[in-house]
Amino acid sequence: MKDWRQDFQAVTGCTLSKESLRAAAAVKDISAGRVEMKKAIVVGSGAGGAAAAKKLQEKFQVTVLETGREFKPFSSSWPALEKLKKTGLFFDEREIQLLFPSMKVHKTEDGMVMVSGTGLGGTTTLSAGNALRMDKGLKELGIDLDDEFEELYREIPVTNNHQNKWRDTTKELFEICKEMDLNPQPLPKLGDYERCTNCGRCVLGCRYGVKWDSRQFLKAAQDSGTELVIGCKVSKVVTEKGSVKGVQAQKGMNSVFYPADIVILAAGGFSTPVILQNSGIECESRLFVDPILCVAAEYKGSLQNKELSMPFAVQREHYILSPYFDYLSFFFNKSWRYPASDTLALMIKLADSNAGSVDNKKINKTLTGIDKERLQEGVGICKEILNRYDIRKDNIFLGTINAGHPGGMLPLTRQEAETFHNPKLPKNLYVADATLFPKSLGNPPILTIMAMAKRVGKIIMEQI
């Protein structure tokens, strides 16, 4: 008597792979009630959490726990905002949360502004949508993520063909950088930029669905059975005899325990270390944040606020330079007194020193002497670029130093290249976000975080 595999081959003409046979057999067993799927808790819905959930859904009953609520793009009009700015009511960057609840802002003791996303999709919804592969530091540890990056390129539209959306100002800046032998390159973007409307609000949430963010991975996972719980803040991981039993979380007014066979922390570089420390697992004081400093000037009709964010970049050894309209500086820095449409800025994104920490009370982070030297070097190059654009150096002003790419407090080592598992962690607890990076990238990290999270998911599934 023929079995179902022979029937399948006779009808389709295809032979099932060993992996497909194992998966089909597992589904058959589950359907017959012979196997109960193991439970996986993923903490966080950003780049790492969404990528891990999508991968784990193949073999686990997955639940994603997200602190924030549904994400809504910033919707206020420019005329209304500029009028509000003139009232002088904007004086502290933390006030941005009153206008845009999905953006969470903290300040360090020396005034550096720390930004993170707190809605569904994490910081991916507030990113510039860049799709850079930045795994050189991981390769140096013996970690090869080629398969994971290829998988991502198949799943997500990535393009650097958006020069037709650039304003004349950006095109001229690009040519100046070429003349200065700075080798500028268009930045690859996550999404379908043929439909870009040049609204200029990439970092405030794309209202038109042009920019890809991790909510699309979440939807795919949900369509396959993943449960999503929003407004749920995980406080700690619960362990017993060296094994994780689940997580303790605050859901509204209630303290809730979520049982799990596997827990993946992907709450971001500011939150994952706090959860670990609350669970009795010490992290390293190696926090990096990728600080941003913008160098700006008045240039009438530049319309940089009406253009996609970070259209191209100049890669230097310790930082990148890119055209960028800095909303935090525009609203809260008194030097940014010109209308948005007449403000032209270049961003310096620094690969800062691994020196800092975060706990339940505050973020401890200061720029080291070498960080400040490198920032000043970047400021000098930006001033030269603007000077060649017929802007006098004495008309140039600086923005507020802000940062939004935290990580590094549980860095991978060569010994963990195969396992992605720090020996401090219980055997069924993993981390899948920028906390794993051995050092600052000084570059957009989203694509690389997702590749790492996919690898973590594969490692876990191979163990089951």
pLDDT in tens, 94-139: 888 877 888 889 999 888 999 998 899 999 999 999 999 999 999 9
Residue 422 counted as domain residue: no
pLDDT tens profile 342-356: 999 999 999 999 999
Calpha distance 123→390 (Å, rounded): 36
The answer to whether residue 129 sits within a structural domain is no
Torsions phi, psi for 286 (to 5 deg): -125, 30
Strand ranges of the sheet holding 39-43, from the earlier edge strand across to the other edge: 227-229, 61-65, 39-43, 262-265, 429-431
In a domain, 454, yes or no: no
Compute the distance between CA of residue 326 and CA of residue 329 in angstroms, rounded to an integer: 6
Residue 36 lies in a domain: no
Q: What is the mean pLDDT of residues 361-368?
A: 93
Report if residue 223 sits inside a domain: no
Share above pLDDT 90 across residues of the chain, in percent, rounded to a whole number: 80
**CA-based torsion, 49, 54, 60, 63: positive or negative:** positive
Domain assignment of residue 445, yes or no = no
Largest CA distance in the chain: 88
Question: CA dist 307 to 198, 200, 215, 291, 403, Å?
Answer: 4, 4, 23, 22, 21
Instruction: Dump pLDDT digits (tens) for 421-442.
Output: 999 999 999 999 999 999 999 9
CATH number of the domain to which 388 belongs: 3.30.410
Across all residues in the chain, what is the average pLDDT?
Answer: 91
In angstroms, the Cα distances linking 181 to 219, 277, 315, 459 are: 44, 46, 11, 43
| Domains of the chain: total | 1
- Whether 202 has a pLDDT exceeding 70, the answer reads yes
Q: Compute CA distances 197 → 30, 43, 75, 95, 245, whole Å.
A: 47, 34, 15, 28, 48
User: Who wins on pLDDT, 83 or 269?
Assistant: 269
Chain centroid to Cα 57, Å, comes to 21
Tokens of 24: 């089909």
With a pLDDT cut of 70, the percent of the chain lying above it is 92
pLDDT for 74 beyond 90: no
Across 257-267, average pLDDT: 97
| pLDDT on residue 324 | 98
What's the CA dihedral at 239, 241, 243, 247 to 10 degrees? -10
Region 54-73 average pLDDT: 95
Is the pLDDT reported for residue 9 higher than 80?
A: no
**Average confidence (pLDDT) over 126-153:** 97
Q: Is residue 86 part of a domain?
A: yes
Q: Evaluate if residue 21 carries a pLDDT over 70.
A: no
pLDDT at 22 over 80: no
The predicted model gives 36-40 an average pLDDT of 90
Domain that holds residue 91: 78-116+162-208+286-403
Contacts of 83 (CB under 8 A, 6+ apart): none
Q: Please indicate, yes or no, if residue 130 is contained in any of the structural domains.
A: no
